[in-house]
Structure 1
Amino acid sequence: MSIIPKTMSAVLTTGHGGYEVLEYRNDIEVPIPNSDQVLIKVLGAGINNTDINTRTAWYSKSVKGETNASNSQGEDGDGSWSGEPLEFPIIQGADCYGEIVAVGDNIDAGRIGERVLVRTMQQYAVDYRPYECWTMGSECDGAFAQYMVAFSDESFKIESNWSNAELASIPCAYSTAENLLERSGVKQGEIVLITGASGGVGSAAIQLAKRRGASVVAISSKSKLDLVKEIGANTVVNREDKLTDSIENESIDVVIDLVAGERWGDLLDVLKKGGRYAAAGAIAGPLVELDVRTLYLKDLVLIGCTFQDRKVFENLIGYIERNEITPLVSKTYPLKDIITAQKDFVSKKYVGKLVLLPK
C-alpha cells in the first residue's frame, strides 16, 4: 500500500491571466476523498487547450480573437466553460491517469491499487442531467498535482501496457474527438474533413475516424503535412491554401472543426447536401460569417459538441484495451516545468500531445 504524504507538489492557478498566475508549490495539502470519491496518485497529466483557455478566460464572450492572440485574455466574470466565475486558486489539469491510493467511506476498498483514467467532462456531480457537466480543472481541481480526488463513478479502471505518459494523453483530447464523431454519426465509407489535424484533438480524430472506416481529409500546416499523413489521413491539405482550390465543393460528408476563423464558410461549401458539421473549438477565432442560404439550401446540420455521454469514455477504454488506437506523445516534462510545457503547446510545433509527469 502506498504511503500517502501530508503535503504534495502542485501548480496553483491564482487567477485569470498569463503565465504569471501559475504558481508551482510543494507545500499543498494532499486532499482527502469524500465518501463518494477516490484519492488518485497522478502518474501523468496532459496539456490541453482548455487548460490555457480557462487560465486566460478565453471562453468569455468579450474575447473575439484566436486562442493564442495577444488580445485573447477575457474578463473574469464569464471566463469558464460554464460561464460562471471561478473560485481561485484552483488546480487545473483536464487529463489524469493515475493510481487509486485511498477511497471514501462509501467506496469499495478493493479499488485501491487500480490504475484509472478520469473523465474530463463529468456528469456525476450534476446527477447525469443532459447537457450539463463539470469540467475537471475548472469546476473542480484537476491533475496538475501529485495527488487529486475524483468521483469514483468518473474514475475508469484501465488495463493496458501503454506508458504513463501515453495513457495520460487520452482523456480530454480523445474524448473530445470521439464525441465529435459520435454526435455527428460518422460511419464506414464516409469522407470526413478534420481541421487542426496536427493537434491533440485533431490527431485523435484522424485515428478514431479511420477506426470507424471513414476516409479522412486533414488540414494542417505545411511543415506537418507528412506527419499528419503518417497518423492515417488519406489526404492532407495545407491550411494556407484556399480550401475550395484543393477540395471539390459538395464532396465531404462530415466536417470535424476545431479551428473556425475567417475561412469558416469554406467548410460549409465543401459539405455535401445533407452534410453534417460538428465543432468543439475555435482556435483561429470564434466569430465567423455564415451565409444562411448555404445552411438551408444544402440542408446542412450544424452540431456543437461539449457535453459528452458516458458512452464516449467507455468507448475509449475499450479501444485502448483492445489496442485499436495508438497514443501520440511528442514530449514529456516534470510538473515544475508547466510554463515551458504550455509555451511549447502554444507554439504548435509538435504533433500530438505534451504530458506532465508529476514526481
Structure 2
Amino acid sequence: MSTTMRGWVLTRHGGPEALRFEELPVPTPGPGRLLVRVTAAALNNTDIWTRTGAYGLPGDPEARAGWRGAIDFPRVQGGDAAGVVERVGPGVDPALVGRRVLVDPAFYQDDAPEAHPVGLLGSEADGTFAEYVLVRAERAHDVHTSPLTDEELACLPVAYGTATGMLERAAVGAGETVLVTGASGGVGLALVQLATARGARVVAVTSAAKAQTVRDAGAVAVIDRAGGAEAVARQAPEELDAVADVTAGELVPALLPRLREGGRWVVAGAVAGPVVTLDLRRLYLRNIALLGSSMHTPAHFARLAEDARRGLVRPVVAARFPLPQLPAAQEEFLHHGHAGKIVLVPST
C-alpha cells in the first residue's frame, strides 16, 4: 500500500477556509493499535463546532475551543467511520486484517465498561476525514456479519452512539411512551429508530416538512415544532415516561410537567437554548430524574455494534459526497434541509 493518503486537515478555528485537503503520511500502528482503511465517513455537528471553536471554556463561554479544550493543530477531522482493517500493531490479533469494522470514536477516562468519554476522534486525535485512520484495537468492532452497507454503518458512531447513551442512561424500555425532540436530525432520528426497536412508543417533535421521514423511522405521532413550546405541550401525551431531548430551550419547562411520577428527562444538546428556568418542585415532588448524557460508554457502544450486526436499525443516508468535496457536504449539512445523515466516501 502507499505510504501517503489524502485527508482534510483543520489548520485553525474558523470557516471552511480553515480546512486544507492534503497528502498526508499513512500512520503506522503501534502496540495495541490498528490501521483502518476508511470506506465511509459521516458528518456531525461536532465537526462544525470543532472547526469553529464553538465549545467555549470554563469561565469563558465565548472562547474558541474544542470539545475538551484546546485543539492541537493541524488536526484531521471526522468522528464517524466504517472501514476495513489494513494493518495491526504489536500485540493485536493479525486475523483482524481484512475485517470490516465499526469504529468507536471515543476516548474514555479509564478502561471500565461504564467509563465516560473524555475525547473524540477528529478533536483530540486525528479522525476519519481521510483515507486511513489509526484507532485502538478494542475500539474497532467487528461487523463483518452486518447486513448494513458501509455508508449506513458510518452513520452510527457519533449520532447513534449518543442516542444509545441517552436511552441507556434513561433506561427506556418496551411499552414506554418517549418524546423525542429535534427528531429529524442525526441524533433525533437515531433516537426514534432505536427507541422504536426497543419496543417504546415514540412521539416526535420536528418540522412539518420532515414529519413523514420521522414517521417512517417509527414515530407513532409527530408534533409540529412550529407551534412553539406551548403548542407542543398541549399536543404531547399527558403521561410521558421519558423525554429524549437534543434541543433544550423553552421546551424543557413547558414539557416537564408532562412527565409521569418517576419519569426521566435525558438531554444531550441545547441548540434551542442552553439556559432555562425550571420550577425544581416539579422535579423533587414527582421524583423526576434530569440526566445529562454526553455520547456513550464502551458498554453502550458494544450494544450499538451488536444492533448493527443484527441490522436492528437502518440509518437514513440523506446524501453522499466524495471525500474531496467535504466543504460542499458541510454546506449542505448547515442548510438543515436534510433528514438523516450526510456521508463522505473515499475513492480508495
Q: TM-score, normalised by structure 1?
A: 0.90
Spell out, residue by residue over 1:63-92, the C-alpha distance to the aligned partner (whole angstroms, 9 max, x if none): 99xxxxxxxx9423xx2222x211111111
Deviation at 1:279, TM superposition (A): 0.9
Residue of structure 2 in register with 1:101 after alignment = 86
1:294 to 282, 302, 317: 282
Q: CA separation in 2, counterparts of 1:292 and 1:20?
A: 45
Residue of structure 2 in register with 1:162 after alignment = 148
Residue of structure 2 in register with 1:265 after alignment = 253
Question: Is the Cα–Cα contact under 8 Å of residues 62 and 75 in structure 1 kept in the other structure?
Answer: no
Residue of structure 1 in register with 2:178 after alignment = 192
Q: Which amino acid aligns with 2:209?
A: S
Q: CA separation in 2, counterparts of 1:61 and 1:302?
A: 24
Question: Is the Cα–Cα contact under 8 Å of residues 117 and 296 in structure 2 kept in the other structure?
Answer: no
Long gaps (5+) in structure 1: 65-72
Residue of structure 2 in register with 1:32 after alignment = 28
Residue of structure 2 in register with 1:246 after alignment = 235
Long gaps (5+) in structure 2: none
Residue of structure 2 in register with 1:136 after alignment = 121
1:337 to 303, 317, 325: 325
Aligned residues: 342
Residue of structure 2 in register with 1:324 after alignment = 312
Q: CA separation in 2, counterparts of 1:174 and 1:307?
A: 9
Query: Does 1:10 pair with 2:13?
Result: no
Three-state SS of the structure 2 residue aligned to 1:356 is strand
Question: Is the Cα–Cα contact under 8 Å of residues 42 and 99 in structure 1 kept in the other structure?
Answer: yes
Q: CA separation in 1, counterparts of 2:111 and 2:195?
A: 31
Residue of structure 1 in register with 2:38 after alignment = 42
Spell out, residue by residue over 1:307-333, the C-alpha distance to the aligned partner (whole angstroms, 9 max, x if none): 522221121222222222122111110
Q: Which amino acid aligns with 2:234?
A: D
Q: Which contiguous aligned blocks of 4+ residues in structure 1 show a shift greater than 3 angstroms?
A: 61-64, 125-130
Q: CA separation in 1, counterparts of 2:147 and 2:285?
A: 50
**Percentage of pairs with the same residue:** 39
2:216 to 230, 236, 253: 230
Tell me how large the CA RMSD over aligned residues is: 1.9
Q: CA separation in 2, counterparts of 1:59 and 1:74?
A: 8
Q: CA separation in 2, counterparts of 1:277 and 1:222?
A: 24
Query: Does 1:19 pair with 2:16?
Result: yes
Q: TM-score, normalised by structure 2?
A: 0.93
1:215 to 201, 204, 208: 201
Question: Is the Cα–Cα contact under 8 Å of residues 131 and 346 in structure 2 kept in the other structure?
Answer: yes
